[in-house]
Amino acid sequence: MSDATEAAGGDGLAAGVAAAAAGAAAASGGRLVVLVDGRSGTGKTTLGDQLARLLGAQVVHLDDVYPGWDGLRAAAGAVVRDVLGAPSGYRRWDWATDGPAEWTAVDPDLPIVIEGCGAVSRASVALASLAVWLEADDAVRWDRAIGRDGDTFAREWDRWAAQEQDFIVAEDPASLADVVLRT
């Protein structure tokens, strides 16, 4: 378990969010779609994986969708157009070759959790059962992200943070979220 979910309540937190998402999907009669967003190092991947396990859902990590270090906005668009659109799926980004890879299909009939910065936008929340925004102190985020990804991300931190900030200013995902959690 990551520091993010430990700090915010661990599996109990994920269970509560999963119950809220299942209830929202049942009330709407639609497909269960959970969006988990936040800046780097807030615990999105950990919470997203826990939610997928608890909900029996497929999970899409936007780290697989971003077309390179300048691709946050493009991935946010792909959430609506490709992942939740038809045909459901996404073009995986191959970070080793710094280029597009294979198309990855997503079953449009199964529950889905989409996690990553850019998941919660004005366009995507209309398609979601539940949107979650995660927050953490900058020093905590840095420690988590660099502890996870090392020097590669440390070199790109400012570049990526600028895109996060631009996205937050443009979309205000925290105000769009059904749930805001501090990790």
Joined tokens for residue 36? 């988990």
Supply the range of the domain harboring residue 24: 3-171
What pLDDT, in 10s, does the model give residues 3-26?
333 344 467 899 999 999 999 999
What pLDDT, in 10s, does the model give residues 27-67?
999 999 999 999 999 999 999 999 999 999 999 999 999 99
Residue 181 lies in a domain: no
Residue 134 lies in a domain: yes
Q: What total of structural domains would you count in the chain?
A: 1
Q: Which helix (H) or strand (E) holds 54?
A: helix 44-55
* CA 124 – CA 126 distance, rounded (Å): 5
Residue 183 lies in a domain: no
Burial 156-180 (b: 16+ CB within 10 A, else e): ebeebbebbeebbeebebeebbbbe
Residue 7 lies in a domain: yes
CATH code of the domain containing 148: 3.40.50.300
Residue 94 lies in a domain: yes
Closest CA to 78 of 123, 43, 33: 123
pLDDT at res. 38: 98
Residue 178 lies in a domain: no
Residue 25 lies in a domain: yes
* CA 36 – CA 76 distance, rounded (Å): 12
